[in-house]
Structure 1
Amino acid sequence: MQKNRVAVPMRKLVYLFLLFAFVLGGCSDYQKLLKSSDNPLKYKKAVEYYNSEDYIKAATLFEELLPIYRGTSKAETISYYISYCAYGSGDYIGAGYYFRNFLKTFPDSPYSEESLYMSAYCYYLESPKPRLDQTATKDAIDAFQLYINRYPNSTRIPKCNDNIDELQDKLVYKSYLSARNYFDRTHYPSAIIALQNAIKDYPGSSYREELMFMLLESRFELAILSVEEKERERYNLAKEEYYSFVDEFPKSEYAKNAEKMIKNIESYLSQFNTNN
Structure 2
Amino acid sequence: MLFHNFAVQLYNMKRIFLWLSGAMLLLASCNQYNNVMKTADYDYKYEAAKEYFVKGQYSRSSVLLGELVTLMKGTSRGEECLYMLAMSEFCDGNFDVAHSYFKKYYQSYPKGVYVEYARFYAGRSLYESVPDTRLDQSSTMAAVKEFQDFLDYYPYTHLKDRTQEMIFALQDKMVEKEFEAAKLYYDLGSYMGNCSYGGSNYEACIVTARNALLDYPYASPERREEFSIMILRAKYQLAQQSVEEKRLERYRDTIDEYYGFMNEYPESKYLKDAQRIFAQSEKYVNKKS
Identity %: 31
1:242 pairs with 2:245: no
1:201 pairs with 2:204: no
Matches within 5 A, 1:83-102: 83-102=86-105
Give structure 1 stretches of 5+ with no counterpart. Answer: 1-6
Residue aligning to 2:288: 272
Distance change in 2, residues 1:74/1:115 (3 Å): same
- Post-superposition offset of 1:65: 1.9
Residue aligning to 2:230: 214
- Post-superposition offset of 1:256: 2.6
Q: Deviations over 1:8-41 (max 9, x none)?
A: 9877766665554443343233222222111221
Question: Equivalent of 1:106, from 109, 126, 129?
Answer: 109
Q: Deviations over 1:158-214 (max 9, x none)?
A: 211222222222222222222122223323222222222222223443222222222
State the one-letter code of the partner of 1:272. K
- Post-superposition offset of 1:144: 1.4
1:77 pairs with 2:86: no
State the one-letter code of the partner of 1:57. R
Deviates further, 21-30 or 87-96: 21-30
1:168 pairs with 2:184: no
- Post-superposition offset of 1:99: 0.5
Maintained 8 Å contact 1:191/1:215: yes
Matches within 5 A, 1:1-276: 19-186=22-189, 187-205=201-219, 206=221, 207-273=223-289
- Post-superposition offset of 1:76: 0.9
Q: How many residues align?
A: 267
Maintained 8 Å contact 1:179/1:198: no
Distance change in 2, residues 1:235/1:54 (3 Å): same
State the one-letter code of the partner of 1:28. N
Residue aligning to 1:4: none
Distance change in 2, residues 1:218/1:11 (3 Å): closer
Q: TM-score, normalised by structure 2?
A: 0.83
Q: TM-score, normalised by structure 1?
A: 0.87
Give structure 2 stretches of 5+ with no counterpart. Answer: 1-8, 190-200
State the one-letter code of the partner of 2:251. Y
- Quote the RMSD (CA, aligned, Å): 2.3
Maintained 8 Å contact 2:50/2:61: yes
